[in-house]
Amino acid sequence: MFDKILIANRGEIACRISKTAHRLGIDTVAVYSDADRDALHVQHADESVHIGGAQTQESYLDIDAILEATEATGAEAIHPGYGFLSENPAFASACEEAGIPFVGPSSEVIEVMGTKDQAKQVMEEAGVPVVPGYNGAQQDPDVLQEQANTIGYPLLIKPVAGGGGVGMRLVKDEESFQDQLEASRREADSAFGNDDVLLEKYLEKPRHIEVQVFGDDHGNAVHVFERDCSLQRRYQKVVEEAPAPGVPESFRQEIGEAAVQAVEELDYTNAGTIEFIVDVADGIEEAPFYFMEMNTRLQVEHPVTEMITGQDLVEWQLRVAAGEELPARQEELTFDGHAFEARLYAENPAKDFLPQTGKIQRFLYPDKQDNVRVDTGVRDGDEMSIHYDPMIAKFIVRGGNRRQALRKMHQVLLGSGIVGLTTNLEFHVNVFEHEEFQKGNVETNFISNHRHQLIPEDYGQPSREDVMMATTYFLSGQAEDDVFRNDMVHDPWNVSDNWRMNTVMTKNLKLLSGEQELAVSGTCEEHLYEIEYEDTSETVEFQSFEDGVLRVRVDGTELQSRVVLRGTKRDISLLYRGRSIPFHLYDPGVEEGEGVGEGDVRASMPGKVLKIRVEEGDEVEKNAPILVMEAMKMEMTVSAGRAGTVEELPFSEGDQVKEGDLLVSISS
Ligand code: ADP
Ligand code: ADP
Ligand code: MG
């Protein structure tokens, strides 16, 4: 076995590989870009080497820089993780030439499996069923049109060099074929530098079921069961599980054997995944399955397989790369229970899952517990930057059966929260609460079919319950210097607004949540708050606020929410059911009127400054336009929160701003 390896990757997967290496007594070398000097993966390694700029071409994709780092540190092998150079045949072959073991298959196999047309051809020859379609060399638009007409519609156009769903286009009829072909080619050319495509019959009700496979240099080949990755958006996975739900044992065996057959045909070594598409239009029992593609690396979702089999697939990879035999034979491999993975992304489901950038102010998730695993490469204060994949973490759970695993994941999701940027956490809560998902009725159109339930209108916005909890939080005086409690307890006569000196007192509050202003009023009697919001009122019983957790009772139901303070006592984020809702409590004495109000205006989302209307030193009125920003493909005007002098105006026209950046500071 090796004494030292280099990990040519970043983020959670670099951390995860380090963990296994350390358990096996292997030292690790991290590589990092300018943007990753203080990254977690660097801290987790025994040594680290700076390899270049933040852009991936200048660092994580720079083959020479990585080989130099390997030589300089005396690392004996390179683990490429996933993404980046993991499926780059030129890199694998450069490692082979330099005599450094590459933790993966041979460069020839990567090359063959790297293009979908070749891969399909090889599989077809090996007798593995492939999706009907055209994967020939002819790329003339007229020839493709003819082929398309023969296959019939709907069909899919796929870049042969594709990955991550990029460039895939659904064509519904003959008339739109040429337009979609052009679009697919453009995207493929800019993403992969290769605009060749293949055509495939589009299955209308498919499941994505893939098989984990392994081979070694001694002629052994096994499969480590299947995973269902049908929950996808933009042809990309978000939730995975193992084993595939509702699959009969005969199907499991058959698909596993087909995968092993492929491994043997290829003389494949190390970890790989054979992705199949399964046509479940007539149910799963006798469903036909077709080879779709092979990923010649460790997969993002490999932990669900580890959870049910008890195997460490990175250990397997390292042993195979060191020339050992596979740690287990097919008949020794078994699985127990059920596992799920939920990928937490910095993205906004309500904006078509648009990736988000910004600082992770707080990332809370449950402490270590049995059958729960959180793989992440970030910690509080880290930045999700435009340069890299927006995945924040993977939540992985195991249960004795699917039901128990569902429940466990639900608990983990509810116990987690992110402050600082929009994520898909709330979306995951909705997935795991969805009845059809709970029943195991998954297919690749699941998310689009149930879009309205998974991504309700008010996604990420304060719900009524959130407002009730935030109001109770402020009214009950949880912030130490809270005016209300002090006033209430000590001197109700002293306040400036409409207290009524009855047994019951009413207080009007103004809350700001993002751009939204919320007017609430509450009366208080002991621990009972009668809160009026949007013309209806509700009785909320304050129960406790301990260790940052607020407990209240509404209509006999106990609600629990985590409260995170952001800077001042009047600024909180409420973490509840996957949502992370900021609330700011206006201080009526200070913040209202012309000369008062927010002097500092910050960007509520990332965007670009288009126009600036004022200069530093200008006198402005309250609500005067300051600058025009473009964010989420919309233009919006940022105006003065108060009257006064423009003190700071840190950006210029054309600059990119991040969420939370100071746009203007106005003093009175
Ligand atoms: P899987 O998610 O099943 O492992 P994918 O091929 O979808 O397989 O992606 C694997 C990883 O490769 C992703 O998590 C990401 O890190 C990287 N990746 C894939 N496609 C892209 C892309 N278009 N841009 C950047 N990274 C990508
Ligand atoms: P990538 O390399 O981008 O991962 P894949 O060929 O693996 O591309 O396809 C990605 C996803 O697209 C699949 O998981 C599946 O949901 C969908 N898909 C692919 N081929 C078909 C098809 N023929 N019919 C319907 N859906 C498909
Ligand atoms: Mg794929």
Mutate to test the pocket of ligand 2, among 169, 227, 279, 292 (most ligand atoms within 8 A of CB): 292
Report residue 364 as tokens.
Answer: 């809370």
Alpha carbons within 13 A on the beta-carbon side of 253? 4
**How far is the C-alpha of 245 from the C-alpha of 239, rounded, in Å?**
13
Q: Of ligand 1's atoms, which has the minimum distance to the CA of residue 275? A: 3
pLDDT at 245 over 80: yes
Average pLDDT, the chain: 92
> For 332-451, where are the E strands, in sequence order?
338-345, 347-348, 354-355, 358-359, 362-364, 372-376, 383-384, 391-399, 417-419
Q: Of ligand 1's atoms, which has the minimum distance to the CA of residue 236? A: 7
CA dihedral 445→448→452→455, nearest 10 degrees, is 110
pLDDT at 644 over 80: yes
Angle, CA of 366, 21 and 80, to the nearest 5°: 95
The region of weakest confidence among 142-151, 226-235, 439-448, 555-564 is 555-564
Is the backbone of residue 193 left (phi > 0), alpha (psi -120 to 50) or beta?
left
Which ligand is in closest contact with the Cα of 299? 1
Which ligand is in closest contact with the Cα of 291? 2
* Pocket flag, ligand 2, residue 132 (CB < 6 Å): no
Instruction: Indicate the pLDDT class of residue 589, thresholds 50, 70 and 90.
Output: low
Q: pLDDT per residue over 420-451, tens digit each?
A: 999 999 999 999 999 999 999 999 999 999 99
Assign 3-state DSSP to the chain and report helix, strand, coil percentages, each to 5.
30, 35, 35
pLDDT at 318 over 70: yes
CB within 8 A of 465, min separation 6: which ones?
554, 559, 576
pLDDT at 502 over 90: no
Q: Is the bond into 154 cis (omega within 30 degrees of 0)?
A: yes
Q: 292 alpha carbon to ligand 2 midpoint, in Å?
A: 7
Report residue 109 as tokens.
Answer: 């196999």
Q: What is the CB neighbour count within 10 angstroms for residue 618? A: 15
Mutate to test the pocket of ligand 1, among 10, 13, 57, 82 (most ligand atoms within 8 A of CB): 82
Mean pLDDT throughout 201-229? 98
Mean pLDDT throughout 117-139? 94
Helix ranges, 126-229 (H): 141-151, 177-192
Between 329 and 368, where is the model more confident? 329
Q: 169 alpha carbon to ligand 2 midpoint, in Å?
A: 10
**How far is the C-alpha of 244 from the C-alpha of 266, rounded, in Å?**
25
Mean pLDDT throughout 77-86? 97
* Pocket flag, ligand 2, residue 473 (CB < 6 Å): no
Q: How far apart are the first and last CA of the chain?
A: 68
Instruction: Indicate the pLDDT class of residue 263, thresholds 50, 70 and 90.
Output: very high
- Which residue minimizes the CA distance to atom 20 of ligand 1? 164
* Pocket flag, ligand 2, residue 226 (CB < 6 Å): no
* Pocket flag, ligand 2, residue 202 (CB < 6 Å): yes
Mean pLDDT throughout 178-190? 95
Q: Which of 529, 560, 545, 333 is nearest to 465 (CA)?
A: 560
pTM comes to: 0.86
Q: Which of 295, 296, 299, 303 is nearest to 270 (CA)?
A: 296
Residues in the chain: 668
Strand bridging mode 391-399 / 270-279 = unpaired
Q: What are phi and psi of 87, to 5 degrees?
A: -120, 30
Q: Of ligand 2's atoms, which has the minimum distance to the CA of residue 290? A: 23
Q: Of ligand 2's atoms, which has the minimum distance to the CA of residue 116? A: 6
Which ligand is in closest contact with the Cα of 233? 2
- Give me the pLDDT at residue 634, please: 63
Name the residues annotated as catalytic.
297
The region of weakest confidence among 83-87, 188-192, 595-599 is 595-599
pLDDT at 482 over 60: no
Q: pLDDT per residue over 556-586, tens digit each?
A: 899 999 999 887 778 899 999 999 999 988 7
* Pocket flag, ligand 2, residue 161 (CB < 6 Å): no
* Pocket flag, ligand 2, residue 131 (CB < 6 Å): yes
* Pocket flag, ligand 2, residue 444 (CB < 6 Å): yes
- Which residue minimizes the CA distance to atom 14 of ligand 2? 208
pLDDT at 267 over 80: yes
Instruction: Indicate the pLDDT class of residue 459, thresholds 50, 70 and 90.
Output: very high
* Pocket flag, ligand 2, residue 206 (CB < 6 Å): yes
Report residue 383 as tokens.
Answer: 């930045």
pLDDT at 75 over 70: yes
Q: pLDDT per residue over 350-409, tens digit each?
A: 999 999 999 999 999 998 899 999 999 999 999 999 999 999 999 999 999 999 999 999
Q: 347 alpha carbon to ligand 2 midpoint, in Å?
A: 21
Q: 617 alpha carbon to ligand 2 midpoint, in Å?
A: 56
Instruction: Indicate the pLDDT class of residue 500, thresholds 50, 70 and 90.
Output: very low
DSSP class of 404: H
Instruction: Indicate the pLDDT class of residue 597, thresholds 50, 70 and 90.
Output: low
Distances (CA, A) of 364 to 129, 148, 275, 341: 45, 50, 33, 17
Which ligand is in closest contact with the Cα of 444? 2
CB within 8 A of 370, min separation 6: which ones?
none
**How far is the C-alpha of 667 from the C-alpha of 596, rounded, in Å?**
9
Instruction: Indicate the pLDDT class of residue 477, thresholds 50, 70 and 90.
Output: confident
